[in-house]
Structures are given as structure tokens and as C-alpha cells.
A and B are shown apart, each in its own frame.
Chain A
Amino acid sequence: MNEKMTRKDFLSSLAFGGTALALFPWLNSCSPEKQKAAGGERARLGLIGTGSRGKFHLANLLQDPSAQIVALCDDFPLHLEEAAALCPSAKRYTDYHKLLEDKEVDGVIICTPLSMHAQMVIDSLAAGKHTFCEKAMAHTPEQLLAMIRAWKQSGRVLMIGQQRMFDPKYVKAMELVHGGGIGQVVGIRNYWYRNNDWRREVPAPQYERRINWRLYDEYSRGLMAELACHQLQNGSWAMGGIQPSFVTGTGSIQFWKDGREVFDNVAAIYQYANGVHMTFESIISNKHFGMGEQILGSEGTIDLVRGVIYSETGNRHSGIRQFLDQIAQGILSNSAFAGTSWVTEEASKDPGVRFVDNVTVNDGASTVGAAGDGSVELMHAYCLAVISGDQPAGIVEEAYWSTLLALLGDQATHLAGRVEIPSAEALGVSF
């Protein structure tokens, strides 16, 4: 928080409007009413996993008036020391079970390698702690189901790090989509290109797999879990909760042949029952196009990353609309719009319209997190949920599907084929 920013400013900057609250129920978790109910109370939090993502959240939480970091845990001493330097008053643990036994911890934040998420979440909920876990939720579909069961039995809050759900430009974009602003959704395009090896610096060779866990199958699902998981949620959100029927995909290690096991380029296509396709492509040896997420509609296109809406009709200026400006000035002069029938089959030259002010464009280059990407709002909502004990509606469901789609997409890329996506009922999940 900026030093000149008051607590009131901070809270009001996180409030979403009425339409968004009605459409996307999880946003009620940081509504003005929730903030008021929390009063001056602070959520007492314990952070498990103090690597790059953990420290990113820690830095944000230290600015949040509703958060108090009371405990830190990591079994990698260097990371623990770095986090403790940011938050000297917090207790330090090297065994997460000990942190879970700490009675001063009300809520846990888990930022560990993917393969550890499931057991840690299950243990945390069983210990009676409200729990936040980074995305993707799980390393396997089986773990995912076990986490959902544990959450339902626990009666505790569970939130997952799908920060786009709290990013104001995504919220506004989805308001437009659900309000018919781009007509019928006919396609969803996602891509994420970088040009780096996705490696972190390793202090000694024996730490390679531990620090660079993202590159090894034992801990990671590669680009599908770490990148696609965020973008695939766009599909669930835009399609109103309808999930794809199947996914086809392919992938390979074509450039970074450095001993890694996960693919350095993947492509996956998800098909919905109504025939709509959602695509995801990632290459990490070319960054020209950066990160892109687009919802294509029969009447327009929304660029989620840039916060811009394009009209299918925008490439020829409407004369009738010109009359609006004239009437506003109290005149009516001729307006050249009549002619041969206007048709839509032209490539758009529409410069588009920004639908949010002061948009922060994330180019996707950061491997930790980006300013203005919804992470601050997400963690604030978690703090309020820990204080109230109220589960934010819909957030686990969205995260569940994002992870499942990512995991099954990963399977498809390894098969270079088609993987069916089971319905919630078929999996025995009640949502």
C-alpha cells in the first residue's frame, strides 16, 4: 500500500460493483459489507513455502491491514531466511506439521511445489485451519478429488490462487460477456509465450530438482499446470460454468534440451458440447506475442489481457450513431451512412475500446506474479474469509475445473491424442 493511501482508500479500491457481485458470487468475499463486518480484525496467517511465489504473497499481505503474518515455514533454509527478513516477528518452522499445530495460526497459505499441494491442503483442513493453496490445485485428478472431499468434510474455508477471478479487468470483461456485449461466445483463445529456460538459480547441484521442481514430472505438470491453468479458467467463466467435453493436444521438448522432463512447447484444444473451442498454446523459446487471452463473440471480441473490446461492426463508422453527437449539440446535419448493404465479412480494423481505466497489462514474462493481476484482491478476500469463516462461493468450483482441465490437457499432450473430460457427476463431485 502506498504510504499516502489510507486504510479506507485501500479497502474501497478493492470493492467490486453490484452487477459483478450478482454475477460472480466469490466477489462478495471482499464486498464493502464483508470489510465492514471484519472491523479492525486481522487474520492470523501462516505461510508454508517461502519461495518466489510465497514471498510475492508475503509482500502483498504485509501491506494488507486485514493480515497478520504469524508464522513462516520452509525446509529450505535460504528461502526461510529471506522471508523472515521481510517479517521478523513471525515464528519460523521447518516442518509444516508443526505450523499446523500452532494455535495462533487461523489461516494457512500454501505456496509449495504442485506435487505437495494435496497432502498439505488435506492436513491443513484436518487441523482445522482455513486454507489457501496456490494453483494448480493438484498433481493428479485423484488428488484433486481427495482435496474436494477433505474440504467438504472440514467446514473450513478453502481458496485457490486463481487471481484472475479478482482482477478488475477480467471481472469487467466477464460482465460484458455475460451481458451479451459480444453476442454469442464462439471461441476462446489463450496463448503464453516466453523466451527463457524457466530455471531458477541453484545454489548447489543437489538442489536442482528441489529448486527447479517445475521442470520435472515427479513434482510438476509443466506448462499446462503452471500457465494454462490460469487461462483455462477463462473458458469456464465465459461459458457460464459449462465445461468442455474433451481435449486434444500435443507437446514436445524442442529447444530447451537441458535434462528437463516437462515439455517446452504445448498446444491443446478443448471442445465444448455446443461445438465451441478453447485453445491454449505455449512456447518458451519465443516471446514475440507474449501472453494473450481472447473471448471471441458473434458481435465482438474481448482482449482480456489488455482490457479492450472490439466490435465486429466497428470498421465502418455508423452514421446513425453520428447523429448522437449532433443531437447533443442541438443540430442535425446530413450524415453519410446509407448505401449498399453493409456486411460483416471483413477483417476488423476496429481500434477497440478500453473497458477499464488505468489497466495494468501483464505481458506474462514474470514467472512469479505481476502487479495489478488480482493477487492483492484475492489475498485480501482470503483474509476476510479467515476472519469471518465464510467460504467464498464458487471459488473452489472454478479452481477445481481449471486444474482438472489443465491436468487432462497435460495427459492429452503426452498422448498426442484425445482425452475425455468427465462430468462432475461422473466424478462424484456435487458441483
Chain B
Amino acid sequence: MEFVYDTRNPAVPTAYSSLVAMHTRCELLLPGMQEGDARALADQVWTLVREADRRYNRFAPESLLAKLNDSAAAEAVVVDEELFFILQMCDTLRKATLGWFDISAGSRVSGRSWELDPEARTVRFSQPGMRLDLGGFVKGFVLEKAVRAVCAATDCALLSFGGSSTAAVGTGPFGAPWPVAVAHTYYPARTAHTFPLAGESLSVSGKDPHGRGHIIDPHTGNTVEKEGLIAVTGPSPMVTEVLSTALWVAPSGQRAGILAAFEGYQAWEIICKTDTNSLTLRI
């Protein structure tokens, strides 16, 4: 964990803190707070992140998710309230996105589904070999919890989990919205599009043109290799995270229809060109 308290502007002393967790870097900017209060708040937020990492990292054998993945095909597994809520949310969002957001997409098993029993608070997989991956969803879920914790302490903050999920608490320290810019995929120092954020979140999904795709098409089981970015803004970091993933994977013709089901959310497609230009299209 890194913590910096910058007092160069005495009117707006600002705390910055970062933590590497959930396979990425999580960052927090807290303008206008006392150092001790900011440090305590950062500790509180990073505790939430570490706890989520511990519970939902499917690669950690002792995590709740790994144990669920190991057992739920053989028998109904009782899970705690938070995990049950997450699975319910994922199921609801899967249906709302016409199946383009699916935490079981990486299973490569046909006819897969999971059955939730609210009475017994159990989960059961329909097929052996099924695996759930909460990676992207949990990032948004924890960011939402973190925003709630930060809102209780201050009305001015910015949180970023890996650059793909950003949440603004209130406006920036000088009254204007936080100017959050999406980096050009070929020229990272350049701005492709700037989103003024005030009390809302931004999620960006896509593929780094220099890297391998990591988002899986739920309908084919293959890694999606297409280019372009999808940016989504709205009140809930959890929903923007899900929507940006689903809209990026979904065919262009289905995007507007999916977005229409989510009131208060806006989406854009950002196309970065190799000649340094970029194009932003409202969905």
C-alpha cells in the first residue's frame, strides 16, 4: 500500500493512495481531508478490496469462489449472503444484457446454467466442468462498496481500479467535474475522449491492441479479438462495469437495445486509429 499526503496547495491538501490487488492497481485520491482521516479512509477502502480479493479470486484455492467452483456441480453448495447476492445480481444482469455478460462464459460447457435457491441460499451448477469467474464483476462491486465508504467521509474523491473502472465522488476540488480522459490505445499519452465525471462512474472495456484479448464471448466460448473500446457512464460502478463488458462483446446491432434497459446509463464506442486520431460514437 502506498500513501502520499501532498500539502503543496495548503488550501487543498490531497491524499493519494494505491494498492496492487485483484490483479491490478487500485487508486484513491482524497482532496481536502486531514492526513489522519485520509489515511484511515484509505485503510478502510483497501480492507474492502483485500477482503474481496481473498473471497472471490478464483485462482486462490481457499477462496469462496474456488471452493464453489470445485463443488457446485456435484451438490448444492450453501454460500453466505454476500456471495448469494452477487450471484443473484450476475444472473439478473446476464438476462438484462441478453446473455452478453455471463460469469460462466469461460467454462466452455454447453447448456450451462446455475440454479439459485433463495430459501436454502444454495447454488448448484447444471453441468460438470462449469466455472464462474467474478473477476470483472467484483471489481465493480467492490468499487461500489468503496464509493459508499468514501461518501460517508467526504464529498470530493476519485477512485480508479486499474483505469478501467473509475468513480467520482462529488466534483473535483475546484467545483468543476473530474475530467477523466480515456487514453488512446495506440498512443497512451494522448486522450481519445474526456468524460467530465461528477458523482458517477465510468467503465471502459476492450482489448489492448498490443495484447491478447481476455474477454470471452459467452455464446462461442472464444476470446473476443475485435478492436475498439466501449465506455459507459452511470450511477453504479457495478452496473457500468457489467454494461461496458456486455456492450463490447455484443454485436453492434444489439447494443442500443441492451443499453435502453438501463435507465441513467450512457455508452460510447471509441475507435482509436493508428494515425493518432480517434472517433467517439454515442450508442
Flag whether A1 is at the interface (Cβ < 8 A).
no
Flag whether B42 is at the interface (Cβ < 8 A).
no
Q: Are A332 and B176 in contact (CB under 8 A)?
A: yes
Contact of B185 among A324, A328, A340 (CB under 8 A): A340
Contact of A332 among B11, B16, B136, B174 (CB under 8 A): B174
Q: Are B163 and A319 in contact (CB under 8 A)?
A: yes
Q: Are A339 and B188 in contact (CB under 8 A)?
A: yes
Q: Which residues of chain B from 149 to 170 have any CB-CB distance to chain A below 8 Å in the complex?
A: 158, 160, 162-166
A191, B208: Cα distance in complex, Å: 37
**With A180-B1, A324-B4 as contacts: A332 and B164 at CB distance below 8 Å:** no
Q: Which residues of B contact A180 (CB under 8 A)?
A: 1
A181, B18: Cα distance in complex, Å: 11
Q: Which residues of chain B from 43 to 97 have any CB-CB distance to chain A below 8 Å in the complex?
A: none
Q: Which residue of A lies closest to B202 (CB)?
A: A338
Flag whether B104 is at the interface (Cβ < 8 A).
no
Flag whether B246 is at the interface (Cβ < 8 A).
no
Q: Which residues of B contact A336 (CB under 8 A)?
A: 181-184, 188-192
Closest CB in chain B relative to A325 CB, distance in Å: 8
Q: Which residues of A contact B163 (CB under 8 A)?
A: 319, 337-342
Flag whether B237 is at the interface (Cβ < 8 A).
no
**With A320-B158, A323-B158 as contacts: A339 and B185 at CB distance below 8 Å:** yes
Flag whether B180 is at the interface (Cβ < 8 A).
yes
Q: Are A337 and B18 in contact (CB under 8 A)?
A: no
Q: Which residues of B contact A319 (CB under 8 A)?
A: 160, 163, 180-181, 183
Contact of B29 among A299, A320, A339 (CB under 8 A): A320
Q: Are B206 and A340 in contact (CB under 8 A)?
A: yes
Q: Are A327 and B9 in contact (CB under 8 A)?
A: yes
Q: Are B164 and A313 in contact (CB under 8 A)?
A: no
Flag whether A254 is at the interface (Cβ < 8 A).
no
Q: Which residues of chain A from 307 to 346 have any CB-CB distance to chain B below 8 Å in the complex?
A: 311-313, 316, 318-321, 323-324, 327-344
Q: Which residues of chain A from 143 to 195 have any CB-CB distance to chain B below 8 Å in the complex?
A: 180-181, 183
Q: Which residues of B contact A183 (CB under 8 A)?
A: 20
Specify the main secondary structure of chain A where it touches its partner: loop
Q: Are B23 and A335 in contact (CB under 8 A)?
A: no
A136, B125: Cα distance in complex, Å: 61
Flag whether B172 is at the interface (Cβ < 8 A).
yes
Flag whether A298 is at the interface (Cβ < 8 A).
yes
Q: Which of B16, B165, B195, B207 has the most CB of A within 10 A?
A: B16
A319, B166: Cα distance in complex, Å: 11
A338, B229: Cα distance in complex, Å: 11
Q: Which residues of chain B from 114 to 168 have any CB-CB distance to chain A below 8 Å in the complex?
A: 136, 139, 158, 160, 162-166
Q: Are B204 and A332 in contact (CB under 8 A)?
A: no
Q: Which residue of A lies closest to B179 (CB)?
A: A334
Q: Which of A298, A331, A343 has the most CB of B within 10 A?
A: A343
Q: Are B16 and A324 in contact (CB under 8 A)?
A: yes
Q: Are A337 and B183 in contact (CB under 8 A)?
A: yes
Q: Are A337 and B24 in contact (CB under 8 A)?
A: no
Size of the A side of the interface (Cβ < 8 Å), in residues, is: 33
Q: Which residues of B contact A338 (CB under 8 A)?
A: 160, 163-164, 166, 180-183, 195, 202, 204, 231
**With A330-B9, A339-B163 as contacts: A313 and B20 at CB distance below 8 Å:** yes
Q: Are A320 and B27 in contact (CB under 8 A)?
A: yes
Q: Which residue of A lies closest to B190 (CB)?
A: A336
Q: Which residues of A contact B189 (CB under 8 A)?
A: 336
A181, B19: Cα distance in complex, Å: 10
Q: Are A343 and B24 in contact (CB under 8 A)?
A: yes
Flag whether B218 is at the interface (Cβ < 8 A).
no
Q: Which residues of A contact B6 (CB under 8 A)?
A: 324, 327-328
Q: Are B172 and A332 in contact (CB under 8 A)?
A: yes
A328, B31: Cα distance in complex, Å: 10
Closest CB in chain A relative to B12 CB, distance in Å: 5
Q: Which residues of A contact B204 (CB under 8 A)?
A: 338-340
Closest CB in chain A relative to B234 CB, distance in Å: 15
Q: Which residue of B lies closest to A337 (CB)?
A: B163
Flag whether B8 is at the interface (Cβ < 8 A).
yes
Q: Which residue of A lies closest to B206 (CB)?
A: A340
A298, B178: Cα distance in complex, Å: 31
Q: 1/0 per position for B206-220, CB-CB distance to A under 8 A?
A: 111000001000000
Q: Which residues of A contact B14 (CB under 8 A)?
A: 323-324, 327-328
Closest CB in chain A relative to B210 CB, distance in Å: 10
Q: Which residue of B lies closest to A298 (CB)?
A: B20
Q: Are B20 and A344 in contact (CB under 8 A)?
A: yes
Q: Are B183 and A344 in contact (CB under 8 A)?
A: no
Q: Which residue of A lies closest to B176 (CB)?
A: A332
Q: 1/0 per position for B1-41, CB-CB distance to A under 8 A?
A: 11010101101101010111001110111010000000000
Closest CB in chain A relative to B220 CB, distance in Å: 21
Flag whether B173 is at the interface (Cβ < 8 A).
yes
Closest CB in chain A relative to B128 CB, distance in Å: 30
Closest CB in chain B relative to A45 CB, distance in Å: 45
Flag whether B236 is at the interface (Cβ < 8 A).
no
Q: Which residue of A lies closest to B10 (CB)?
A: A328
Contact of A328 among B8, B18, B202 (CB under 8 A): B8
Q: Which residues of B contact A342 (CB under 8 A)?
A: 24-25, 162-164
A140, B160: Cα distance in complex, Å: 55
Q: Which residues of A contact B202 (CB under 8 A)?
A: 338
Q: Which residues of B contact A327 (CB under 8 A)?
A: 6, 9, 12, 14, 31, 173
Q: Which of A323, A335, A339, A342 has the most CB of B within 10 A?
A: A339
Which A residues contact B (CB, under 8 angstroms)? 180-181, 183, 298-299, 311-313, 316, 318-321, 323-324, 327-344
Nearest 4 CB-CB pairings of A with B: A328-B8, A334-B179, A341-B164, A336-B183
6 CB-based A-B contacts, threshold 8 Å? A298-B20, A311-B2, A336-B188, A338-B163, A338-B181, A338-B204
Question: Contacts A313-B18, A334-B194, A342-B25 given; 17 further ones with Cβ under 8 A?
Answer: A318-B27, A320-B16, A320-B28, A321-B16, A323-B158, A324-B29, A327-B14, A328-B6, A329-B9, A332-B172, A332-B173, A333-B179, A336-B184, A338-B182, A338-B231, A339-B164, A339-B183
